[in-house]
Amino acid sequence: MKVEFDPTIQAFESQFVELIRRRLGIVMHVHQHYELYKTIQEACTKFSLTPAEYLSQLADCPTQSPLLHFLVAGITVGETYFFRDQQQMQLLQHYILPDIIKKKRETNSLSIRIWSAGCATGEEIYSIAMMLSEILPDIGNWTIKLLATDVNTTVLQKAIKGTYTEWSMRSISDYFKQKYFQKETRYYQIAQTIKEMVNFDYLNLNDDNYPSIFNGTNAQDLIICRNVLIYIDNETCHRIMLGLNKSLVQEGYLMLGASDPINIAKTDFVFHAQRGSLFTRRLTEKLQPVITTTKTIINPATKIIKITKKIEPKIKKLEKIKKIEKIETIKQDLVTRATDLANMGKLNEAIKLCEEGFRLEPTNKLNYFTYGLTLSELNRLPEAESALRKTLFLDNQFVAGHFQLGLLLLRKNQHEAGLKSLKNALAIAESKQQQEVVPGSQGLCYKDFADILRNEINLHITIGS
């Protein structure tokens, strides 16, 4: 049935296309304009707006706005299914995951970090969770971090619920279906043990907020970003590839879709032509040694040999000031270095630097913050919660501390307390100068951080209701 569109929509076509490219990095090709027109017309009817009014409000609305969510849901493809693309699934099950596991066992580092970027309704990351459950007989001894992100919060809500129709099950074996799902009339509910392995979050790949321990995108062993970059313009695609490159550990894997563009300029990716759209990151990065004691840093001013008794007190005072300044520098360097180590996945080294920082300055909230995030990465949740609460004891306006404590409580299934912490964070963020950088966020301004908080709150309110 042919749909009659409001003729004024076409007059704003190029402006809508440019807005979508700017805000989302998505390129709308000519063959997609039918869906774009349809989405715009439905949005105008739903929100009682003209096309011009809708365009104007989209330009400045926050990311959690229903106006933007409706547009995103209409123009992005949220459809997928379990064990989609059998060739790549076989590659994961028989080559990539076993190789990661083998290397981890050799180094006695029983942790795996995998990120599904553009996860849609979650079938892909849940498929990987089931694979890991099958090939890790000692999975209880491992720290498994499976992150799944998308720009479409509607599909994220479906993913978190973990309820699927027969259409999503069309490529899954009877073995997996019977072992990891419960049939409920016309639906399949994924097992709770599999659901608990995955963390779903809103993330726009067009933003420059990864890699970071702040949102869990750091130090990934494997990133899967399939059939996402085909919608992205060349410039944004290259920027995303640079970010994904930095988000991987050395020798980590990146898997793209068969039709995704290959743009690896200025990265250290190695392309495996015989294994589909698969890349590994070269082993090139070397960490510089860290000076962690004040003894080697604080040196007296030995170059001043000839001084008179008249100016000697002034010299000593100057030396004392320089020592204090250098102590402050090393305190800050320790926090920065600990964060860098955590971002690289060197969690035990980060812990040691944080503990050294406590010796020098026991009231540094940012040090406790990094300590808490790193403990959380190691699944030492009670200690992580204690560290994050310490940051708020030191500064109850520390918005990043409220945010991460909220996420941790939600992870521990303390839904009401977690939402309360997120709402506290949002109230503080909204009260600040919106363009100022949020301490501890690694570069986010309060305006963007407030948008993230609103998305998280809306996501978990919907799930908890």
Does 75 score more than 60 pLDDT?
Answer: yes
Q: Which of 45, 48, 41, 42 is nearest to 9 (CA)?
A: 41
CA distance 128 to 93: 8
Share of the chain above pLDDT 70, in %: 86
312-464 carries CATH number 1.25.40.10 = yes
Please answer whether residues 78 and 185 qualify as being in contact, where contact means their C-beta atoms are separated by less than 8 angstroms. Answer: no
Q: Which fold has domain 86-281?
A: Rossmann fold (3.40.50)
Instruction: List beta partners, residue 187.
Output: 184
**Would you call 193 helix, strand, or coil by DSSP?**
helix
CA distance 198 to 81: 17
Tokens of 411: 């992870």
**Average pLDDT of every residue of the chain:** 84
Angle between the N-to-C axes of helices 399-411 and 365-377, in degrees from 0 to 180, rounded to the nearest 10:
20
Tokens of 452: 């993230």
End-to-end Cα distance, the chain: 37
Burial of 254 (0-12, 13-18, 19+ CB in 10 A): buried
> If you search the block for the tokens 């016309």, which residue do you land on?
186
pLDDT band at 181 (very low <50, low <70, confident <90, very high): very high
Q: Find the DSSP H helices in 169-285.
A: 174-180, 192-195, 234-247
Does 136 score more than 60 pLDDT?
Answer: yes
pLDDT for 251-310, tens place per residue?
Answer: 999 999 877 888 888 899 998 866 668 889 877 544 343 333 333 333 444 443 443 444
Of 17-26, 35-44, 192-201, 355-364, where does the model show the most confidence?
Answer: 192-201
Instruction: List beta partners, residue 112.
Output: 144
pLDDT for 216-244, tens place per residue?
Answer: 999 999 999 988 888 788 888 899 999 99
CA distance 280 to 272: 8
Q: Where are the domains of the chain?
A: 7-75, 86-281, 312-464
Tokens of 243: 């970010």
Does 325 score more than 70 pLDDT?
Answer: no
